[in-house]
Amino acid sequence: MGGLLVIIFVLFVLYRYKVKSQKIIEKQNETIKNEQESLKKQKERLELVLEGTGLGLWDWNLETNSVIFDERWANMLGYAFEEITPSLETWKSKVHPDDIEKCFDDIKSHINGESKFYNNIHRILHKDGKWRYILDRGKIVERDKEGNPTRFTGTHTDITYIKETELKLKKKQYTISQYIQLIDKYIITSSTYLEGNITDVSDAYCKISGYSKEELLGQNHRITKHQELDSKVHQEMWKTITQDKTWQGEIMNQDKSGNTYWVEGTISPKYDENGKKIGYTSIRQDITDKKLIEELSITDGLTNIFNRRHFNEVFPSVINSAKRDNSLVSFIIIDIDYFKQYNDTYGHQKGDEVLMSVAKCIKDLIHRADDSFFRLGGEEFGVIFKAESKEKAKAFADKIRIEIEKLHIEHSGNSVSSYVTISLGLVCKNANEIKNDGEIYKDADDQLYRAKESGRNKVECLI
């Protein structure tokens, strides 16, 4: 009898293992499919954003060594899209022989991790037989499991006029008056009184901000400040310049129409002839295209929240930062209950809408600047957040669960509710109790599995 019980138990364990393995395989297949769709939508989104900016987009698959160029690249060289084959070989054949080596040195430097961003200026042959100067910017946006780069995306801009102007200036072919006019037209500059009210702006500043000079003069620089700009950036800037030092950094601004643009700025004190400080002068460079590529590399294309790649970069630094004062680290893994059944019943288009709705709901619940929200893959999400206590961390996790069910999204395949629900695995520990990010991730994943095995639509905790 005892032997029979042992056999039954072993068969039961094998059955459970088989069921769990099948679920894991199904989930992995679903995740791969969702990620492929997400990448497609990411590219479509960036194309839409770049439409009308004058920037061309390129996308380089490093595994197949194939590069896709968009229509704007062909137009920039004077060709209709059907007149030229947009490939890596075509690009190489068009680049000036004296510039090609530097191009690949800069590319290699970025791929090897020696530079945060690929940034190169080279000459390329136009259809009319003349050389054009191109500003090329790009970044690795995908890596394989071993960390090897697999996808390289970037933009290209025709800067011929600016480059030719620089060369003429070096040869002193411009008068002082012409030089001042060129600066006014192409360099984003402004001057302010000590309190920050604008006294002068260049035409280039007016162009990027969308405001006329009349609308800007006398206004505070806050007129172009973006509401989502981290307040710490603004505080650090004012702290630096009020101490008579020069500040340098990146600033997110908003133009008159409400569109976001980014500048890299240098702000310095301005003095009168007696050495008395009377205000500040700033010189800015438009880096919107650079920030767009950076955003693409860390954003999930479907839900517009952070992606798994960014999670892998952020999580270890959050833990290390928390270890300075041994503060609490709270991490939740969230999974939509019976999501495969939802897709089978309502279709993948509706499934995508559920993912977007769930993401928006959770994002709206996260208010602290230090909290982060990620799509980890498929229907799985992650939240890193700060909590004053373990009890409040658990209460926040349960609030997320309740708010998702309150969306009242019909789900006939959900055995625990008539609506879409989620299961959550929460881990909340003091930082010095955590060995590494892999450990806390596994703990949260184990808690999520417990939540699903014990009925779903619930929070299981390790605190």
Residue 246 structure tokens: 């020069």
Domains, the chain, ordered by start: 35-163 (3.30.450.20), 174-288 (3.30.450.20), 299-462 (3.30.70.270)
- pLDDT by residue for the chain (463 residues), tens only, comes to 454 444 554 444 455 555 555 555 555 555 555 555 555 555 554 444 444 445 677 888 888 888 888 787 888 888 888 888 878 888 889 999 999 999 999 988 888 888 878 888 899 999 999 999 988 888 888 887 777 888 888 888 888 877 776 666 666 655 556 656 766 777 888 999 988 899 999 999 999 999 999 999 999 888 998 888 878 888 888 888 888 888 888 999 999 999 999 998 889 888 877 778 889 989 888 888 888 777 778 888 889 899 998 999 899 989 988 888 899 999 999 999 999 999 999 999 999 999 999 999 999 999 887 899 999 999 999 999 988 899 999 999 999 999 999 999 999 999 999 999 999 999 999 988 988 889 999 999 999 999 999 999 999 998 8
Interatomic CA distance for residues 139 and 295, integer angstroms: 10
**Residue 60 contacts by C-beta under 8 Å, 6 or more apart in sequence?**
66, 67, 68, 88, 138, 151, 152, 153, 154
Interatomic CA distance for residues 431 and 352, integer angstroms: 35
Name the catalytic one among 379, 380, 405, 460.
379
Indicate the pTM of the whole model: 0.57
Examine the residue annotation and report whether 44 is marked as an active-site residue of this protein: no
